[in-house]
Amino acid sequence: MGDVEDVRFGVFLVPDARTSAAVTDITRYLQAQFGLVSARRFPPHITLVGSLPLGVSEDQLLTEVEQVAAAHAPIELTNAGPTRLGEAVVVFDVHHDSEGQPNQPLVELAVAVTDAVGPLLRPVETLPADIRDQGHWRGHFSLASHELIERQDLREEVEEFIDGLDVSYPDSFLTTRLAVYRLRHQNWSGRWWNSFEWAHVRSFTLTGSPASRVPG
Q: What is the pLDDT of residue 145?
A: 93
Q: What is the pLDDT of residue 92?
A: 97
Q: What is the pLDDT of residue 197?
A: 96
**What is the residue extent of each domain of the chain?**
12-205
Give the residue ranges of the chain where pLDDT is below 70.
1-4, 211-216
User: How far apart, in whole angstroms, are the C-alpha atoms of residue 143 and residue 13?
Assistant: 16
Q: What is the pLDDT of residue 211?
A: 62
The string of pLDDT tens digits covering residues 32-46 is 999 999 999 999 999
Q: What is the pLDDT of residue 1?
A: 34
Q: What is the pLDDT of residue 102?
A: 97
CB atoms within 10 A of CB 91: 24
Q: What is the pLDDT of residue 189?
A: 93
> Is 12-205 in CATH node 3.90.1140.10?
yes
The string of pLDDT tens digits covering residues 88-115 is 899 999 999 999 999 999 999 999 999 9
> Given its phi and psi angles, is residue 73 left (phi above 0), alpha (psi -120 to 50 degrees) or beta?
beta
Q: Taking the chain, what is the end-to-end CA distance rounded to the nearest angstrom?
A: 62
Q: Taking the CA atoms of the chain, what radius of gyration do you get in angstroms?
A: 17
